[in-house]
Amino acid sequence: MLSTIILVVAVFLILRFLYNRRFNYWKRQGIPERPSYFEAYNLNKHSVMTWDSKNYEALKDHKFGGMWEMLYPVLYLRDLDLIKQIFIKDFHHFVNRRTFPTNNEKDHTKLMLSFRETDDWKELRNILTPGFSTVKMRRLFTLFDSCAKRYMDYLHSKCDSPIEFRNAMGKYTMACIAESVFGIDCHAFGEHQTEFFKMGKAYMDFSPWRVFKLMFVSNYPKVADFFGLNVFHQDADTYLTKVVEDVLRSRKGVKGNHNDFLEIMRENSEEQEHGQKVLSEHEIVAQCMNFFAAGSDSIETVLIWATYELAKNPDMQQRLYKEVNEGMTKNGGELTFDTMTDMEYLDMFVSECLRKYPPTMRAERRCLKDYPVPGTKYVVPKGLFVHIPIYPIHHDPMYWPEPEKFDPERFTKENKSARNQYSYLPFGYGPRTCIAGRYSIVETKICLAHLVQNFVISTCEKTEPKPIYFHLSLKPVNGTWLSLKPRKR
Ligand code: HEM
C-alpha cells in the first residue's frame, strides 16, 4: 500500500516538474506571454487570423512576448523596429524558417526554396531570382494577359446569373500557374474539371486537419515518420510530379520558345559550364510544387477580395474603370505592361487589398544562433521559432486608422511616405522576402484591369455581408457571390 502511494506521489511530482519546466519557460525568461498551448490543436474553431490577433491584443503593451505552438514556445514580435532588425540587419541570425525533416524519400518539401536552409537556401535563391526579373515579367505579362482574356470569355458566358467568385477566380489563377510554372494549358475554363484542376485543388486543400499536420510534422518529425504523415496530399503530389517530368522529357534537347519557369530551370540544368550549381530533376519538380503551393492560393485570395470590394464600392470601381479604359484606349484597346505599370489607382487599390486581406497572415523565422535582443537582457536561443504577425499589424489602428475600412487612399505617395514602411508586410521583407512579389502584382493587376474593362460588378442577394474566413488563408468559407453586367462597347 505504502509503495503504491509513494509511486503515485513520485509520478505526480515528476509530471509536475516536467509541466513546470516546460510551461514556466516564458516566466523564467521574464518575458510576458499569452498561454495559447492548445490553439494549434483547435484550428477548426480558430483561424490563424483570430489566433494571431488574440496574441497581438494580449501582448499590447510589449515589443515582443511569448506564445505557444503545440507545446513549443514561440517568440511573438510586435515592435516594427525589432521586426526590421530581424528581417534585415540581423538576418544572419534568422535565415531559416520551419522545416519538415521527415525521412519520407518522396517528400518534396526538403528541396523547396521556402524550406531550404542557410547556404543551401542562398545558392538556390540566387539560381531562381533571375526568373523573376523585369525582363521575365514582361514575357509573363503576355501569358497572363492571354489567360485573363480567356477568363473574361468564360465570365461573359456565365454572367446571366450571379457568379461565385471563389470558384471562378480559382480558374484564372490555376490557368496562370499551370502555364507560367508547369508550361501547360490546364483547360481551366472548360465545362468539365480537368485532372490537373482537381489534383491542383486537392494539393492546395488547407483544411484544419492539413494545417494541424503541417505543424505536427514540423514540431514532431520522428512521430510523424512513425505514423507516415505527409504535409501535402500524396496523390496530388504524385500526379503533379508526373506532369513536370513529362514536360521535361518532351523538351529534352529541344530549343523551344517557352516563357515559363520550367524552361528557366531546365536551361539552368543544362548549363554546366561555369562551375555553377545545377538543378537536378528532383529539385526542379520541388520548385514547381513550391511555386504552385505558394502562388495559386495567395493570388486567388487577393483577387476574390478585390472583386468583392469593387462590388461594394461603386465609386472606386468607376475610378478604376476610367483609369484602365483611358490606358487601354491609348493602346488600341490592348493592355500593355507599361500602361498597366503607370496606372496609379490600380496600384493603390491592389495595395489596399493586400493590406486588408494579406493572404500570408504571418511570416516565420527560426533562430539560427543565439540573438541578444537589442536594448534588453533577453537572448533568443538558437532554434526558437519567431512569428511576425502580418495580419494584426495590417489591422493595427496605430498604423492604419479605421483599419476595417477599405480605403485605397492610404496608398497615395504622401500617405505612404508618412508611414513606417514596416507596417505593410504582405510579402515579408529582407533577403527572404517573397521571391514572386512582382509576379503576383502583375497577375493580379491584369485580371482586375480586364474585369473592370469588361463588366460592372455589383453585390447581389447572395452576397454575404460578413464572410467567415478559412483556417489558414483569408478565403471566404461560403464563397463570394456577385453579379456581373457586361459593359457596352
Ligand atoms: C499575393 C500573392 C503572394 C503573397 C501575399 C505572398 C507572400 C509571401 C510571404 C509573406 C512570404 C514570406 C516572406 C518572409 O518570410 O519574409 C513568401 C515567401 C515565398 N513566396 Fe510568396 N506570396 C505570394 C505569391 C507568390 C507566388 C505567385 C509565388 C511563386 C510563383 C511565391 C513564392 C514564394 C516563395 C518560393 C517564397 C519563399 C522564398 C524564400 O524562402 O526565399 N509567392 N510569400
pLDDT at residue 12, as a whole number: 72
Cβ 427 under 6 angstroms from ligand 1: yes
Closest C-alpha residue for ligand 1 atom 11: 434
pLDDT at residue 279, as a whole number: 85
Angle at the Cα of 467 from the Cα atoms of 173 and 232, rounded to 5 degrees: 45
What gap in Å lies between CA 346 and CA 321, rounded to an integer? 9
Cβ 295 under 6 angstroms from ligand 1: yes
Cβ–Cβ contacts within 10 Å for residue 383, how many?
Answer: 12
What gap in Å lies between CA 381 and CA 385, rounded to an integer? 9
**159 is an annotated ligand-binding site residue:** no
Residues 6+ apart with CB under 8 A from 19: none
C-alpha cell at position 291: 511555386
What gap in Å lies between CA 382 and CA 369, rounded to an integer? 5
| 435 CA distance to ligand 1 middle (Å) | 6
What gap in Å lies between CA 178 and CA 184, rounded to an integer? 6
| Local structure of 29: helix, strand or coil | helix
Query: Up-side HSE of residue 23: CA atoms within 13 Å toward CB?
Result: 13
* Pocket-testing residue among 434, 440, 448, ligand 1, by greatest number of atoms within 8 A of Cβ: 434
Closest C-alpha residue for ligand 1 atom 17: 434
**How many angstroms from the chain centroid is the CA of residue 256?**
31
| 317 CA distance to ligand 1 middle (Å) | 28
What gap in Å lies between CA 328 and CA 242, rounded to an integer? 40
Mean pLDDT score of the chain: 89
Per domain, the residue ranges of the chain are: 31-486
| 440 CA distance to ligand 1 middle (Å) | 9
| Local structure of 75: helix, strand or coil | strand
What gap in Å lies between CA 173 and CA 151, rounded to an integer? 10
* Pocket-testing residue among 86, 387, 427, 429, ligand 1, by greatest number of atoms within 8 A of Cβ: 427
What gap in Å lies between CA 182 and CA 193, rounded to an integer? 18
Q: Looking at ligand 1, which atom is closest to the CA of residue 298?
A: 2
Closest C-alpha residue for ligand 1 atom 18: 434
What torsion, rounded to 10 degrees, do the Cα atoms 262, 170, 47, 432 define?
30
pLDDT at residue 271, as a whole number: 60
Cβ 298 under 6 angstroms from ligand 1: yes
Q: Which residues of the chain have pLDDT under 50?
A: none
The letter for the amino acid at 350 is V
Can you list the positions of beta strands (E) in 103-212? 163-164
| 363 CA distance to ligand 1 middle (Å) | 10
What gap in Å lies between CA 226 and CA 232, rounded to an integer? 17
Q: Looking at ligand 1, which atom is closest to the CA of residue 180?
A: 30
Cβ 359 under 6 angstroms from ligand 1: yes
| 8 CA distance to ligand 1 middle (Å) | 52
- The H or E element containing residue 484 is strand 481-486
Cβ–Cβ contacts within 10 Å for residue 463, how many?
Answer: 18
| 461 CA distance to ligand 1 middle (Å) | 35
Entry pTM: 0.92
Closest alpha carbon to 463 in 486, 482, 439, 487: 482
pLDDT at residue 338, as a whole number: 95
- The H or E element containing residue 225 is helix 221-227
Cβ 426 under 6 angstroms from ligand 1: yes
Cβ 109 under 6 angstroms from ligand 1: no
pLDDT at residue 217, as a whole number: 84
Closest alpha carbon to 442 in 138, 111, 23: 138
**How many angstroms from the chain centroid is the CA of residue 245?**
25
Cβ–Cβ contacts within 10 Å for residue 10, how many?
Answer: 10
List, edge to edge, every strand of the sheet that includes 481-486: 163-164, 481-486, 455-459
Residue 288: strand pairing partners: none
pLDDT at residue 272, as a whole number: 56
Alpha helices in 331-479 (DSSP H): 337-342, 344-356, 390-394, 413-417, 437-454
Cβ 65 under 6 angstroms from ligand 1: no
Cα→Cα distances 391→94, 359, 420, Å: 21, 9, 16
The CATH fold of domain 31-486: Cytochrome p450 (1.10.630)
Q: Quick check: 173 and 296 in contact, CB under 8 A?
A: yes
| 96 CA distance to ligand 1 middle (Å) | 14
pLDDT, one tens digit per residue, over 134-154 is 988 998 999 999 999 999 999
Cβ–Cβ contacts within 10 Å for residue 402, how many?
Answer: 9
